Amino acid sequence: MIERLIYEQITGDEQIKGMLTTYNGTPAFFYQKSPQDGDESWDKPCYPRVDYNIDMRYDPERKMAGLLSVNIWCTNECTAVDGDDSDKAIEKRLLELLGGVFYTGGDNSTVCAVWNRSNAFAFDGNRIILQNSTPEVFGITMLFDLLEFPEQTSTTPDPVTSANTWLNDPAVSELLILEGTAQLERLTFANADGEDNITALIAAFRKRGSAYYNLTKITDSAEAIATVDQEKIEGGSDPVINVAAYSAAFEALEPHRWSVLSIDTDDAATQLLMQMFLNRAYLSGKFCMGVTGKPTTADFETRLTDAAELTEPLTNNQYERAIQSGMLTFSISSRNKVWVDSGVNTLTSPVENDDEGWKKIKRVKVRFELFQRLNDITEPLVGRINNDPDGRMTIIQKGNGVCNAMVAERKLLAGAHIENDPENLPEGDSAWFLVFADDIDAFEKGYFKFQFRFAPDNNN
């Protein structure tokens, strides 16, 4: 079994033996669960120690066969190893021993352990803690994906042999379209003689078509098509993109669900068309946003009016004016990294019942998500439940489930819920509900108040 192979590998490593405590004279490395601290078989102290578990699952695509989890347990009394904390040193050695290793079990199946991530934890004796406390026990959880490599057996007929025979078939030719090393298209046709070879290629092209090229026979020839090994395609031209083409693209996009639309042009007419399309989509029930840009050659004042992204350095005053105008601006952080200076949108003056949150991209995204998720859980109930107290309570319970889920995802503050609307009583086939939700904003501004003194008070 794989767990036995891992146990023998780790407990047989001399470095690990020197890092872990012992239990009954053997390194404290346990499958699934370690003994209680009060067990008399511990060779004091009972830390550091490690336990591991293997969760295998069936995956027909063989992307992953299971998960190996390794828990490293230490205390503040554990000694450092070569300058590293004990848990970090053990993690480093286990990664060297387990990462990329192949294990073959008794059934001849083979798995490879591939490190995924490590998560630190702390434990106060009764519960897991994260911060603001001195932990009694702390450690690291290491997660490894187990990739399966089943035993390769041959059958009759052998599919690999058949594929090789087909690939080497002298009666078949292929036209491959590559971009770098990526294969974009493959066209298979009969490898006939002379003119028949060209005819077969044209026929195959007309049947399948291509998204990258147009194939036309220029002249008749008695010679077969020559073999070509990755020859660069010359000529051709980019398709003509105009307002009509974008209009057709928007129409094709409209029946589908999406959240953000960005176009690759700074043409004013096309951007206006996109704005009209987004307005129509929103009014028809879609929750979406759009992103456009202006060329840096445009005047700064013009871009303030049009609310575009800036790509050249700005003064602090320009940044403030840009944000007030709804521009998405980038700046350089104190660590010399490019970051979004302020994630605002083009809504600069909220009206009617709109609050300031609608000016933030992140908050608009969360609100649209709440809209969509409530629609999704309500849609299957339309026409299937009665518009009576029980039916409306079903809607409220389902909706509260969405609110609670988004609270757990840290998108909404605790307390989000749904109630019947007392000012709009249900009638006929219609019912009205109130959704109480506070979406969480990001920390963006901090203010420090300094209280310096010439000298401390001296009461002596």
Residue 253, domain member (yes or no): no
Distances (CA, A) of 156 to 159, 160, 161, 162: 8, 10, 10, 10
Do 39 and 108 belong to one domain?
Answer: yes
Block residue for tokens 């629609």: 375
Residue 78, domain member (yes or no): yes
Query: How far is residue 148's CA from residue 417's CA, in Å, rounded to a whole number?
Result: 45
Distances (CA, A) of 245 to 162, 249, 273, 397: 46, 6, 11, 45
Do 347 and 372 belong to one domain?
Answer: no
Residue 154, domain member (yes or no): no
Do 300 and 189 belong to one domain?
Answer: no
Do 91 and 36 belong to one domain?
Answer: yes
Residue 157, domain member (yes or no): no
Q: What is the pLDDT along the chain (460 residues), one digit of tens a residue?
A: 788 899 999 999 999 999 999 999 899 999 988 898 888 898 878 899 999 998 877 655 555 578 899 999 998 888 888 888 889 999 999 999 999 899 887 767 788 999 999 998 887 655 444 444 445 788 999 999 888 877 666 666 777 666 666 666 667 788 888 888 888 888 888 877 656 778 888 888 888 888 887 888 887 777 777 777 778 877 667 666 788 888 888 888 888 888 888 888 878 788 888 888 888 887 777 878 888 777 767 776 666 555 434 445 555 566 556 555 555 555 555 565 554 555 444 555 556 677 777 777 788 888 888 998 999 899 899 989 999 999 999 999 999 999 999 999 999 999 999 999 999 999 999 999 999 999 998 887 788 898 888 888 776 5
What is the widest separation between alpha-carbon atoms in the chain?
A: 113
Query: How far is residue 104's CA from residue 348's CA, in Å, rounded to a whole number?
Result: 63
Q: Which long-range contacts (CB under 8 A, 24 or more apart) does 324-332 make?
A: 324/348, 326/359, 327/303, 328/291, 328/361
Query: What is the C-alpha radius of gyration for the chain, rounded to an integer number of angstroms?
Result: 33
Do 99 and 81 belong to one domain?
Answer: yes
Do 28 and 89 belong to one domain?
Answer: yes
Do 392 and 342 belong to one domain?
Answer: no
Domain boundary among 358, 384, 417: 358
Bond from prior residue into 157 cis (ω within 30 degrees of 0) = yes
User: Are 3 and 31 a contacting pair, CB within 8 Å?
Assistant: yes
Do 32 and 141 belong to one domain?
Answer: yes
Do 367 and 350 belong to one domain?
Answer: no
User: Are 331 and 310 a contacting pair, CB within 8 Å?
Assistant: no
Query: How far is residue 79's CA from residue 87's CA, in Å, rounded to a whole number?
Result: 10
| Domain range enclosing 187 | 168-208
Residue 449, domain member (yes or no): no
Residue 323, domain member (yes or no): yes
Bond from prior residue into 159 cis (ω within 30 degrees of 0) = no
Residue 156, domain member (yes or no): no
Domain boundary among 338, 358, 378: 358
Tokens of 393: 């309570």
Q: Give the Cα-Cα-Cα angle 398, 408, 362 (nearest 5 degrees).
A: 100
Residues 6+ apart with CB under 8 A from 275: 290
Tokens of 412: 């909404």
Block residue for tokens 């290629």: 201
Residues 6+ apart with CB under 8 A from 384: none
Report pTM: 0.37
Residue 115 backbone dihedrals phi, psi, to 5 degrees: -60, 135
Do 139 and 190 belong to one domain?
Answer: no
User: Are 67 and 143 a contacting pair, CB within 8 Å?
Assistant: yes
Residue 47, domain member (yes or no): yes
Do 9 and 57 belong to one domain?
Answer: yes
pLDDT of the residue at 416: 93
Do 105 and 33 belong to one domain?
Answer: yes
Block residue for tokens 């890092």: 19
How many domains does the structure of the chain reveal?
A: 4
